[in-house]
Amino acid sequence: MSAPKPKISKEAVPMPKQTPEERRYNFKEVAIGYNQENALLEAQRCLQCREAPCIKGCPVGVHIPVFIKSVKESKFEEAAKQIKEQNSLPAVCGRVCPQEEQCQSKCTLGKIGEPVSIGRLERYVADWEREHGFVIPEKRPPTGKKVAVIGAGPAGLTVASDLIKLGHEVTVFEALHKPGGVLTYGIPEFRLPKKIVEAEAEYIQKLGVTLKTDALIGRLYTIEELLQQFNAVFIGTGAGLPTFLGIPGENLCRIYSANEFLIRVNLMRSYDFPRAATPICVGQKVAVIGGGNVAMDAARCAVRLGVKEVKIVYRRSREQMPARAEEIENAEEEGIEFEFLTSPIRLIGDERRNVKAIECIRMQLAEPDKKGRRAAIPVEGSNFLMDVDTVIMAIGRTPNPIIKQTTEGLVTAEWGGIVVDENGKTSIEGVYAGGDIVTGEATVISAMGAGRRAAKAIHELLSKK
């Protein structure tokens, strides 16, 4: 007779977090992470469904029930190996993936209660592996083929890791002084500690990938020149250019693009100024314009820099905010205020050209259009002034034009993105692209998914030659 099955808890093991009072004053990670006991308990909840709907929700197809089974059996090294067959950046994905929209949204347990916390378990396994020393997987024998990867962000690192394991020689060119792309310059320390990104990049170098920082492709070498030295090229340069509203006063001082603000804080560690030499200039009243994850990141950085009053100004209402629910909650807990249905129309400066106020207008939502999207319409006569001393524009990013400008024959869309087929192949033979440079601003994991597909296509191409 088999032992009675333990009753499965409808509730997930909660993520231990720093309290809002604590975390307002530091840049340490907000979510502390499961301990072993938490992880084992949570892994118990997985039903090990045969059809594994969760896998279909994962853009890179991690064999989720397989690794969770290993966790359940305390075989963490095994679990790490299983995740890494599909995902080369698990410590990152476990932290920043929107699991609630992906794997966890498909979890069978979700029908009766909370889904299994796949992301938290992935993070636990990846952190366990990092702390116990990475195991370097076996590589296939060298093929003698060389691949150049442009951009050491999520897409590029995935391509590099997939192709090096298949025996190709891979060189990654990164324009900034550190690898990681948006993981390094964009996502703040308190959501994704930089030591984790560094460790992931180190791991990929241990696999044998050559990383060249300070190498801006388009200026230092053109794609054409790379094709003379490499058998294939992958472009993963992301959506790096900031967008502004195009309203009067946007060039006043103390108006930042979210990109600039986050680059200063994350990549240059301005929070440690003057020890770290890059300054940042915030007053006591900061307004962040926009409603996405980047807006939340910028606002939460401002709180940690000691700003008393941080407001998020968004033109639609809370329901339409593109940011993850979890991030909106975190922001609220940290005392950030929200001005919904509000849109800036003009920025006003003082005699030194520092911004001192935003003229805003209230908005209302129209009836849903055919796509169900509700347009925001200004309410006439509702103008008002909002006192501020710093403004951060977090209204989206567009592709970097340098490669487009310097690569003849590379077909791009009107908005600047590179046009590719379903395998990531561009209009130039041997040149592939993926991630935000193709799709526009999207998630880390979707860029990694695109990287995987391109790596597969590049491998097929190189195997033919």
Partner 1 sequence: MFKIETKRSLAPGINLFSLSAKELAAKTKPGQFVILRIDEDGERIPLTIADVDLEKGTVSVACHEVGKTSKQLGRLNEGDSILNLLGPLGKPAEIKNYGTVLCVGGGVMAAPLHFQARAFREAGNNVIGVVGATTKNHLIFLDEMEKTCNELYVATDDGTEGHRGIDFLKDLFIERKVDRVITEGPVVMMKAVSDLTRQQGIPTIVNLLPIMVDGMGMCGACRVTVGKNMLFGCVDGPEFDGHQVDFDELLARLKTYTPQEKIAYVFWEEGEKHQ
Separation CA 253–CA 218 (nearest Å)? 31
Q: Which is nearer to partner 1, 17 or 346 (CB)?
A: 346
Task: Name the minimum Å distance from CB 338 to partner 1.
Answer: 25
The stretch near partner 1 (CB under 8 A) out of 64-72, 248-256, 303-311, 356-364 is 248-256
Binding mask 267-286 for partner 1 (x = CB under 8 A): -xx---xxxxxxxxx-----
Nearest residue to 285 via CA among 314, 264, 312: 312
Task: Name the minimum Å distance from CB 334 to partner 1.
Answer: 25
The stretch near partner 1 (CB under 8 A) out of 114-122, 210-218, 368-376, 420-428 is 210-218
Q: Which is nearer to partner 1, 400 or 446 (CB)?
A: 400
**Polymer length in residues for the chain:** 465
Contact 361, 247 (CB under 8 A): no
Task: Name the minimum Å distance from CB 293 to partner 1.
Answer: 17
254 binds partner 1 (CB under 8 A): yes
The stretch near partner 1 (CB under 8 A) out of 21-29, 81-89, 171-179, 449-457 is 171-179
Q: Which is nearer to partner 1, 108 or 278 (CB)?
A: 278
- Give the 3-state DSSP-derived string for the chain, with helices as H, strands as E and coil as C: CCCCCCCCCCCCCCCCECCHHHHCCCCCCCECCCCHHHHHHHHHCCCCCCCCHHHHCCCCCCCHHHHHHHHHCCCHHHHHHHHHCCCCCHHHHHHHCCHHHCHHHHCHHHHCCCCCCHHHHHHHHHHHHHHHCCCCCCCCCCCCCEEEEECCCHHHHHHHHHHHHCCCEEEEECCCCCCCCHHHHCCCCCCCCHHHHHHHHHHHHHCCCEEECCCCECCCECHHHHHHHCCEEEECCCCCEECCCCCCCCCCECEEEHHHHHHHHHHCCHHHCCCCCCCCCCCCEEEEECCCHHHHHHHHHHHHCCCCEEEEECCCCHHHCCCCHHHHHHHHHCCCEEECCEEEEEEEECCCCEEEEEEEEEEEECCCCCCCCCCEEECCCCCEEEECCEEEECCCEECCCHHHHHCCCCCECCCCCECCCCCCECCCCCEEECCHHHHCCCCHHHHHHHHHHHHHHHHHHHHHC
198 binds partner 1 (CB under 8 A): no
Task: Name the minimum Å distance from CB 160 to partner 1.
Answer: 21
176 binds partner 1 (CB under 8 A): yes
352 binds partner 1 (CB under 8 A): yes
Separation CA 96–CA 83 (nearest Å)? 16
Task: Name the minimum Å distance from CB 298 to partner 1.
Answer: 13
The stretch near partner 1 (CB under 8 A) out of 37-45, 197-205, 219-227, 368-376 is 219-227
Task: Name the minimum Å distance from CB 278 to partner 1.
Answer: 4
Separation CA 133–CA 222 (nearest Å)? 38
For residue 435, give both structure tokens: 């991630």
Task: Name the minimum Å distance from CB 172 to partner 1.
Answer: 16
Q: Footprint of partner 1 on residues 62-121 (CB under 8 A)?
A: none
Q: Residue 266's beta-bridge partner residues?
A: none
Q: Which is nearer to partner 1, 38 or 257 (CB)?
A: 257
* Out of 242, 292, 424, 449, the residue judged to bind partner 1 by CB under 8 A: 242
* Out of 116, 175, 265, 341, the residue judged to bind partner 1 by CB under 8 A: 175
The stretch near partner 1 (CB under 8 A) out of 43-51, 102-110, 240-248, 430-438 is 240-248
Task: Name the minimum Å distance from CB 268 to partner 1.
Answer: 7
Nearest residue to 88 via CA among 168, 207, 193, 179: 207
Task: Name the minimum Å distance from CB 263 to partner 1.
Answer: 5
Task: Name the minimum Å distance from CB 276 to partner 1.
Answer: 5
Separation CA 289–CA 339 (nearest Å)? 10
Q: Which is nearer to partner 1, 243 or 423 (CB)?
A: 243
* Out of 22, 101, 214, 429, the residue judged to bind partner 1 by CB under 8 A: 214
The stretch near partner 1 (CB under 8 A) out of 30-38, 191-199, 242-250, 407-415 is 242-250
Task: Name the minimum Å distance from CB 286 to partner 1.
Answer: 15
Sheet containing 337-339, strands listed edge to edge, beginning at the edge strand earlier in sequence? 255-257, 390-393, 285-289, 309-313, 337-339
* Out of 15, 66, 221, 283, the residue judged to bind partner 1 by CB under 8 A: 221
Q: Which is nearer to partner 1, 4 or 246 (CB)?
A: 246
The stretch near partner 1 (CB under 8 A) out of 44-52, 202-210, 330-338, 399-407 is 399-407
Query: What is the total count of residues that contact partner 1 (CB under 8 A)?
Result: 41
408 binds partner 1 (CB under 8 A): no
Interacting residues toward partner 1 by CB under 8 A: 175-177, 185, 213-214, 216, 219-221, 240-242, 244, 246, 250-251, 253-254, 256-257, 259-260, 263-264, 268-269, 273-281, 352-353, 400-402
